[in-house]
Amino acid sequence: MEERTVLLIGKTGNGKSAISNVISGTNDFEEGEFTVSQTKDHLRKEYIVEGVKYIIVDTIGIGDTKLTTQQVLFKIADACYTVRSGLNQVLFCVSGRFTPEEMMCYQILTTVIFNPEIVKNTTIIRTRFPKFRNSEACQADINSMASETSQMASIVMGCNKIIHVNNQTEEEDPGLISRKDSRIRLLTHLFTCRDLYLPKELTDINGRIKDYMTKAENFEAKIAELTKIIEQTNQTNKDLLEKLNTDIAVYKKSLDDVKIQVSEITGGVLREKSPGVWEFICKSFRKCSVQ
């Protein structure tokens, strides 16, 4: 069976989760009405559509200032680890003019996680565009984006494709006609994205964090297992419940320690490869132990 691994990135509030739902034809990804990110952790879901397996990785929204620097660094690493075998396409979701947060996101892609070649495997998804069926309006919007800055022009001219969609909710469009039309556009394009992209940079960062991420997965599995046992344990068995809760606390502490180690590694890569991005992240998110 053919597979397409798709990584969605973009600023909080730009409709990443909505695009994930449009592609999958589900409501598995929580869509938020406000500017607070509904995606606190990356979500990885698999769907089979017309004989093709789509692996959708929806990352945290850039700009969610309720997260600490440490949390952001771990989630960047977590997304890298999730696509460690490579990906077919990055969907860069924007809803208008590119903001400083979105340019930072682009720099993370081109200088830290991947390399400048990733732009060829990047599709810009222009969300919330009512005239998405009007080719002249779409081209005018592309020209407007390209005229913003020279860097923006290079992204627009160098990317794989720019797709305009209108990801309206059921309340806004009871028949969800715009979503259905947008889904056809997205799936038709993604079906053609057969090439797997696995750059040295992605392999390198995963080589640094692999052992720690494996430990994190093991700790998370143990916590989930013990939590399930607690749910099935008679509440009168206080001794067993106390032991289970103590064990969970130990695993949670170990998990937190591993996340700090992964965050420090990721922060080191950022400082080394892109000091400007590192400075931006430190200013944008709440302070934590990773400095």
- 3-state SS record for 47-91: EEECCEEEEEEECCCECCCCCEHHHHHHHHHHHHHHCCCCECEEE
Contacting residues for 251 by C-beta, under 8 A, at least 6 apart: 219, 222, 223, 226
Give the pLDDT confidence of 140-167 residue by residue, as tens digits.
999 999 988 888 888 899 999 999 998 7
The predicted pLDDT at position 227 comes to 95
Distinct helix (H) and strand (E) counts, the chain: 9, 6
- CA–CA distance, 25 with 214 (Å, rounded to integer): 32
DSSP, res 155? H
The predicted pLDDT at position 201 comes to 93
CB 57 within 8 A of CB 79: yes
Give the pLDDT confidence of 16-74 residue by residue, as tens digits.
888 888 898 888 887 765 444 444 455 788 999 999 999 999 876 555 657 788 888 89
**Architecture of the structural domain at 2-191:** 3-Layer(aba) Sandwich (3.40)
- CA–CA distance, 179 with 206 (Å, rounded to integer): 36
Strand partners, 11: 62
Please state the pTM of the whole predicted model: 0.84
